[in-house]
Structure 1
């Protein structure tokens, strides 16, 4: 809970910033572009909301990804944090180079037919006349299957207990995470990779095959990172994107009439309702003065991706969904050294999923009023709990 708000926005905007953060973001851009929240134990979190500031700070070396800079801050499960998201150069440079080698374009491109095949099987099992949940009946099982492929989960480890555990990891039930079980599973999985060559689509196997370049903890932590990257952002991209289209039927018709519009359209969906609301943890490694506000060493800085992508000084009519918007320099996947490692994979999966939904299910509509949809509580991610639809 926030203890003290400095120059805070109206209470009604704060109350709705999970369901609809964009009026809150607009207020921040206009009145408090560098906004401080005092949290428990004396922590300060600064929210930066304007496009130019967010874009600049995403590459600013004065901001660190090293969680040791702020004692007491826990960015993730113990023993699973030795990956590139929580590292600065030169450590980050080394880890990024190794992971990039696994994410070569050839391997990512090879996943596209698999995505289409998996999406097709899922759509074969639904009847849109009876209604379906685009999150739980489609987006989540689609990305979960892809996760298992990326991790190269062998058949003897692909058990119901494993699937339940991984599902609770990427979308915790009642906040419950089975961290010890997850570490054990990933340790066994990495050991199995050492005994069996990686397949064409096996990104984790390719990392294990790199030899001694990664420590055991780095390998297990990177497997955990792939688990999250391969799921949350893509589920949110599909869900947020489809909701935006359903609420803008003219744009949905345009995309259905011209499937090639997905080229610019997917970037617009990423901009309009970004699957990552705030950039991941950064802390000030030295004092930073921005808009007359002094960010102290050790303060946490939250770069509001969702706000930057609706900045009226950068995007004409930013609250309008325009699938033909071009150029579109959104920041949905970040920028600079920490640009999302899974961006290309997420875009392939999102484009294939949305295209097939429109092709296979016909003319859909929301099965409930839009204001009854529930959003998952998260400061970093923005995604729906469910998205019930039915054919018109």
Structure 2
């Protein structure tokens, strides 16, 4: 419930609110200027606070007064049972244990070993395409690229790859279809974990490495949940990075040409694309475990705190000309992967996959342009992620 000491809550202009699904950045700018901590009372009787300024988001990402436990929120219904026993939804000390185990599967040598697979898969996908006739950079490239990588990371054995399971995994990776496949997905992931326990892990098989970890080990429920996390969160983030990043380059052709002519800009370029239109719009779930004062308001225990990463990454108090795409921007301390104890464990993998994808797309597409009017582009209706449904282009 909103505390009685909350200052008068400004009313969000209707036009900004209506367009935020397509372009949230004017809305975010209004929040930073007028309501940096905006409360919203939900139908379930609980309150969500939207925090929009960089310094506040940065601080709260590492604030121990915020918990990952949804049971602290009266009337709140969390995600599907059996899929939340992973590090993203864990508090200390359990989080430190899970983080140590999962982090061991993302060692630099394991990530580096995936580079030939990523590059080879990307080349094969582009070999099949004819950009002059048009292609969808989401459907024809980003989705199948990340699908192949995720299946490799999960170490899906041949005996489990049937037309039905292939379709199940493909459907699960589309946000609008994911809720329809949860029960089937649980069955598949349990079968997969059982195979991982029995078989030997390969160099590229991160889930197998987790299943065979010595000493402290993940339980079956934790392994299933971690596989679920890798499948959905890891996949969506990278698809959105490629889609949002390519759209940003298409909208800024001088920056696209610069990146093609100066490939040494790829490192800072990927960081800028992550900042400019972040694949994760809101940080993952957090709830106040004790009262928190912020901008004259009191966030009460049991209130949900939504940290707007997309807004923080466009904060003019932190980034000079934040609405300008500058691929040479350095330093660039964006929050696209979070910060603090819950910093994205797969950040290095996403950066690697994004850098390879952008390099090959620029090499192969020539002078790409949108094949549809910008107002025809559709975005997935998701509060946490920000990603395109499709991105048709021609060259």
- TM-score band, normalised by shorter chain: over 0.9
- C-alpha change, 1:193 and 1:226, in structure 2 (3 Å) is same
Kindly indicate whether the alpha-carbon contact (under 8 Å) linking 1:115 and 1:352 is maintained by their aligned counterparts in 2.
yes
Kindly indicate whether the alpha-carbon contact (under 8 Å) linking 2:288 and 2:301 is maintained by their aligned counterparts in 1.
yes
Q: Which residue of 2 is the match for residue 130 of structure 1?
A: 133
Cα distance in 2 for partners of 1:352, 1:75 equals 36
User: Which residues of structure 1 form unaligned runs of 5+?
Assistant: none
Kindly indicate whether the alpha-carbon contact (under 8 Å) linking 1:274 and 1:306 is maintained by their aligned counterparts in 2.
yes
Q: Secondary structure at the match of 1:188?
A: helix
Kindly indicate whether the alpha-carbon contact (under 8 Å) linking 2:152 and 2:204 is maintained by their aligned counterparts in 1.
yes
Which is further off, 63-72 or 215-224? 63-72
- C-alpha change, 1:98 and 1:328, in structure 2 (3 Å) is same
Deviation at 1:170, TM superposition (A): 2.2
Residue 220 of structure 2: which of 189, 196, 216 is its match?
A: 216
Q: Secondary structure at the match of 1:129?
A: helix
Residue 200 of structure 1: which of 203, 207, 217 is its match?
A: 203
Task: Within 5 Å, give how 1:240-255 maps onto structure 2.
Answer: 240-255=244-259
Cα distance in 1 for partners of 2:198, 2:311 equals 47
Deviation at 1:130, TM superposition (A): 0.4
Q: Is residue 283 from structure 1 mapped to residue 283 from structure 2 by the alignment? A: no
Q: Is residue 262 from structure 1 mapped to residue 266 from structure 2 by the alignment? A: yes
Partner deviation per Cα, 1:318-371 (whole Å, 9 max, x = no partner): 000000000000000000100011111001000100100000121100011112
Residue 114 of structure 1: which of 114, 117, 126 is its match?
A: 117
Deviation at 1:177, TM superposition (A): 2.6
Partner deviation per Cα, 1:244-277 (whole Å, 9 max, x = no partner): 0000000000000011111100000000000000
Cα distance in 1 for partners of 2:340, 2:156 equals 31
Q: Which residue of 2 is the match for residue 95 of structure 1?
A: 98
Q: Is residue 8 from structure 1 mapped to residue 11 from structure 2 by the alignment? A: yes
Q: Secondary structure at the match of 1:331?
A: coil
- C-alpha change, 1:345 and 1:175, in structure 2 (3 Å) is closer
Task: Within 5 Å, give how 1:1-392 maps onto structure 2.
Answer: 6-173=9-176, 176-211=179-214, 213-391=217-395
Cα distance in 2 for partners of 1:224, 1:196 equals 20
The number of equivalent residue pairs is 387
Cα distance in 1 for partners of 2:133, 2:374 equals 19
User: Which residues of structure 2 form unaligned runs of 5+?
Assistant: 1-7
Kindly indicate whether the alpha-carbon contact (under 8 Å) linking 1:229 and 1:342 is maintained by their aligned counterparts in 2.
no
Kindly indicate whether the alpha-carbon contact (under 8 Å) linking 1:168 and 1:176 is maintained by their aligned counterparts in 2.
no
Q: What TM-score results when the alignment is normalised by the length of structure 1?
A: 0.97
Deviation at 1:72, TM superposition (A): 4.2
Cα distance in 1 for partners of 2:75, 2:358 equals 41
Which is further off, 299-308 or 66-75? 66-75
Deviation at 1:229, TM superposition (A): 2.9
- C-alpha change, 1:14 and 1:175, in structure 2 (3 Å) is farther
Q: Secondary structure at the match of 2:255?
A: helix
Q: Secondary structure at the match of 2:180?
A: coil
Q: Secondary structure at the match of 1:302?
A: strand
Cα distance in 2 for partners of 1:69, 1:166 equals 32
- C-alpha change, 1:384 and 1:144, in structure 2 (3 Å) is same
Cα distance in 2 for partners of 1:164, 1:175 equals 12
Deviation at 1:172, TM superposition (A): 3.9
Q: What TM-score results when the alignment is normalised by the length of structure 2?
A: 0.96
Kindly indicate whether the alpha-carbon contact (under 8 Å) linking 2:46 and 2:73 is maintained by their aligned counterparts in 1.
no
| RMSD between aligned residues | 1.2
